[in-house]
Amino acid sequence: MPKRSKSSERWLQRQRKDYFVRKAQDGGQVSRAHYKLEQIDQRFHLLTARKRVLELGAAPGGWTQYLESKLTRGFLIAVDPLPITRGGRCRVIEGYAGEDEVNAQITSLLADQQLDLVLSDMAPNISGIRAVDQARAMDLADIALAACEDWLAVGGDLAIKAFQGEGLDAWVAALRQRFEQVNMMKPKASRPESREVFVVARGFMASHNGQPDGDRKQAREE
């Protein structure tokens, strides 16, 4: 196959981006992100009607919209400091995941129930300094994992957006100690030029809760 020139590669990438943006607009979806979750779900079958789901980084609401269409008998808690477009099946917490106040609200909404699935599409504010942005992204990954330790049922699943770079391989290796099966996926709806990938971990083994947070973090880093 002949090698494509850089300009035709850029053209192809733009076309691809436009395709999912247009598809979202034509289909009445909140955002192109909708299709990323749909493609992840098509591959891993994460969602069934009764699932109890926590969605971190939900605004503007593309994933939320997809989740509400699937979770007809379960429940959905969506967290983001920004406004989320959603229907009536979703409980929204406005704030930053990982903060005490948000944790308290999640615990209160769950009322002793556990989760079947933790989803995170959280992304940090980009500074443009790659090492700083990557460190922030890894902090968000830790927040999602801490949510699993706090509320995920044994056997539950985690799907999270991550960014290829410093710390990700070690983080995924640590995740393999906590879940039975861990896969990486780059959905077609994700821009090819982006370092974004999705980590899908299935079969949560057991919570390390009871250990102080610092110890948990250290355990993940070892």
Ligand X SMILES: C[S@@+](CC[C@H](N)C(=O)[O-])C[C@H]1O[C@@H](n2cnc3c(N)ncnc32)[C@H](O)[C@@H]1O
Q: Which residues are catalytic?
A: 161
Residue 62 interacts with ligand X (CB under 6 A)?
A: yes
Contact, 133 vs 109, CB < 8 A? no
- With CB under 6 A as the rule, give the number of residues binding ligand X: 23
- Residues 172-201, one symbol each (x = binds ligand X by CB under 6 A, - = not), give ------------------------------
Kindly state the DSSP code that residue 211 receives in the 8-state scheme. Answer: B
Among 81, 83, 87, 192, binds ligand X (CB under 6 A): 81
- Residue 190 beta carbon to ligand X: minimum distance, rounded to whole angstroms: 11
Helix, coil or strand: residue 144: helix
Residue 148 interacts with ligand X (CB under 6 A)?
A: no
Residue 60 interacts with ligand X (CB under 6 A)?
A: yes
Helix, coil or strand: residue 165: coil
CA–CA separation, 55 and 124 (whole Å) = 16
Among 61, 74, 156, 187, binds ligand X (CB under 6 A): 61
Kindly state the DSSP code that residue 40 receives in the 8-state scheme. Answer: H
CA–CA separation, 197 and 108 (whole Å) = 32
Q: For residue 195, give Cα distances in angstroms to 27, 120, 163, 207.
A: 27, 16, 5, 30
Of residues 19-48, which lie at the interface with ligand X (CB under 6 A)? Answer: 30-31, 33
- Token pair listed for 201: 């971990």
- Residue 4 beta carbon to ligand X: minimum distance, rounded to whole angstroms: 29
Euclidean distance between the first and the last CA atom of the chain, given in angstroms as a whole number: 44
Among 40, 56, 92, 144, binds ligand X (CB under 6 A): 56
Among 68, 96, 155, 183, binds ligand X (CB under 6 A): 96
| Residues at the contact surface with ligand X, assessed by CB under 6 A | 30-31, 33, 56-63, 79-82, 96-98, 121-123, 140, 143
